[in-house]
Structure 1
Amino acid sequence: MTTKDLSKQPTFGSVDEERQHLKQRLAGAFRLFSKFGFDEGVAGHITARDPGEKDHFWVNPFGMHFSQIKASDLILVNHDGDVVEGDQPVNRAAFAIHSQVHAARPDVIAAAHSHSIYGKTWSTLGRKLDPITQDACAFYNDHSVFDDYTGVVHDLEEGRRIGKALASHKAVILRNHGLLTVGETVDECAWWFITMERSCQAQILAESVGKPVLIDEEHAERTSKYVGSSKSGWFQFQPLWDRIVKEQPDLLE
């Protein structure tokens, strides 16, 4: 009996092969977001930079429920906001935010944002997460707060300011709005969103019954190197990927 090596990231023989892998992972991330309740109406989007056209990104069609998205449903958008592949419209807020995040961070392949319940609840406090659990240490000194809510994002300038607030971090809390995470892979980006949402939940629950004890700076910093690395983020997503593909194999189509 052989055991699958979950620590080995895939390599590709061609751009087309890499693109198909990326689109399937993106569809899987949407299915998982739906399964975890990170969907609300038409709000939310995950984008992935195309491996061939670096100034283009794949994104969910506007108005399609996360639970129904297949790899073939994804649309390709350029940085002018034009749909260059696919016949569905793009969410203008997705373009305004994600185009600027991708432009500001050439190291980023994927970016995720949704109106998840605990993320948007925590965002109303205008605070960063504290290192109160091992999982939360993934974000220790590696997330920020964008503290200027001005309504639904349609303005590229606000997208630029969100990108600036994100800086070199893996995540930014958009005050009165929700969470945004990024990663070098779709897998990593999706995992950061999942675990950040749960970390928001954990801190809300802890503060509802008392004052949480913070992990001291030395141990929080050390822990962040283990649970907060890009490789760790990718690795943590793999069992979830296996789960969702087994349950909903049509997402690969």
Structure 2
Amino acid sequence: MSEQLAIPSKKDQVSAEEWQLRVDLAAAYRLIALYGWDDLIFTHISARIPGDDHHFLINPYGMMFDEITASSLVRVDQDGNKLDPDDFDINPAGFTIHSAIHAVREDVVCVMHTHTTEGVAVSAQQHGLLPLSQQSLFPLSNLAYHDYEGVALREDEKARLQADLGGNNFMILRNHGLLTTGGSIADAFLGMYILQKACEVQIRALAGNQPLTPIPDGIVDTIRQQAEQVTRGMGGKLAWPGLLRKLDRINAGFRD
């Protein structure tokens, strides 16, 4: 029987602001696992720590998403160096993608990346995400694509990734998976929830072998304003407290 990892608490070693960021990021990892969007120890969620140092938090390489805690997250600089030598190592492929976005998007606090079956399936389809569901309209109003270049380890890919994303908050990585960004961890998670759901609907609709009814182009243009109305201008923060309560009932411990 395997033993649980013993991670010393960092609560008294970091600022209150960083600790809250760590708690929310650990919660996001566990929610990804809860909804079945994880890929063993692979894929990543990162969060930028406020300040001029351009440091961010990312998952320790080797831990399952459902066991990540606030204290186990690794603080790294823009070059991928661990700030605490006692921390776990990180996945260099994850660092390449996330550091590229954090370097140019000061409005982005959180970057979330998944390899779900439905997300990869849509990313492999020639026309990408289609306007087949209400869920699809939110990402379609703010969606970018990035062509596959192999495992994301090369430094020169960063510039192309940055250019492809631009100012968008949703991205489909061709033959690879899904990516969302947000001004908060809650916003990035809500974005991923909607994008993932849109991909699930699309795969099932295409599998039905029946003629499909796409949503008219003009409706996409109005969706951003409607999104603000639906979330009362709060974005992901409207659902976030409820998601944390769900975790406390099902998989508590992320605050450690």
TM-score, structure 2 as length reference:
0.86
Question: Residues 146 and 172 of structure 1 are in contact (CA less than 8 Å); yes or no, is this contact kept in structure 2?
Answer: yes
Question: Residues 126 and 175 of structure 1 are in contact (CA less than 8 Å); yes or no, is this contact kept in structure 2?
Answer: no
Q: How does 1:132-211 map to 2 (within 5 A)?
A: 132-147=132-147, 149-209=148-208, 210-211=210-211
After superposition, the CA RMSD in angstroms is: 1.9
Answering whether residue 242 of structure 2 is matched by residue 239 of structure 1, we say yes
Letter in 1 for 2:254: L
Aligned to 1:22: 21
Cα–Cα, structure 1 residues 224 and 90, in superposed 2: closer, same or farther, change >3 Å? same
Q: How does 1:50-89 map to 2 (within 5 A)?
A: 50-85=49-84, 86-89=86-89
C-alpha displacement at 1:116, in angstroms? 1.1
SS in 1 for 2:254: helix
Question: Residues 126 and 145 of structure 1 are in contact (CA less than 8 Å); yes or no, is this contact kept in structure 2?
Answer: no
C-alpha displacement at 1:222, in angstroms? 1.9
SS in 2 for 1:84: coil
Aligned to 2:9: none
**In structure 2, distance between residues paired with 1:234 and 1:159:** 30
Letter in 1 for 2:149: T
Letter in 2 for 1:132: L
Q: Deviation per CA, 1:119-154: give whole Å up to 9, x if none.
A: 11111114342232222221122011112x121111
SS in 2 for 1:46: strand
**In structure 2, distance between residues paired with 1:99 and 1:206:** 36
**In structure 1, distance between residues paired with 2:164 and 2:237:** 24
Letter in 1 for 2:249: K
Question: Residues 226 and 232 of structure 1 are in contact (CA less than 8 Å); yes or no, is this contact kept in structure 2?
Answer: no
Question: Residues 115 and 177 of structure 2 are in contact (CA less than 8 Å); yes or no, is this contact kept in structure 1?
Answer: yes
Q: Deviation per CA, 1:159-186: give whole Å up to 9, x if none.
A: 3311211111111100010001100001
* Unmatched runs of 5 consecutive residues or more in structure 1: 1-14
Higher helix share: 1
In terms of mean alpha carbon deviation, does 100-109 or 48-57 score higher? 48-57
**In structure 1, distance between residues paired with 2:244 and 2:159:** 32
Letter in 2 for 1:46: I
Aligned to 1:10: none
**In structure 1, distance between residues paired with 2:199 and 2:255:** 31
Question: Residues 187 and 236 of structure 2 are in contact (CA less than 8 Å); yes or no, is this contact kept in structure 1?
Answer: yes
Question: Residues 137 and 220 of structure 2 are in contact (CA less than 8 Å); yes or no, is this contact kept in structure 1?
Answer: yes
**In structure 1, distance between residues paired with 2:165 and 2:62:** 27
Aligned to 1:123: 123
The count of aligned residue pairs is 238
* Unmatched runs of 5 consecutive residues or more in structure 2: 1-13
SS in 1 for 2:167: coil
Question: Residues 53 and 77 of structure 2 are in contact (CA less than 8 Å); yes or no, is this contact kept in structure 1?
Answer: no
Question: Residues 141 and 223 of structure 2 are in contact (CA less than 8 Å); yes or no, is this contact kept in structure 1?
Answer: no
**In structure 1, distance between residues paired with 2:150 and 2:224:** 33
Aligned to 1:248: 251
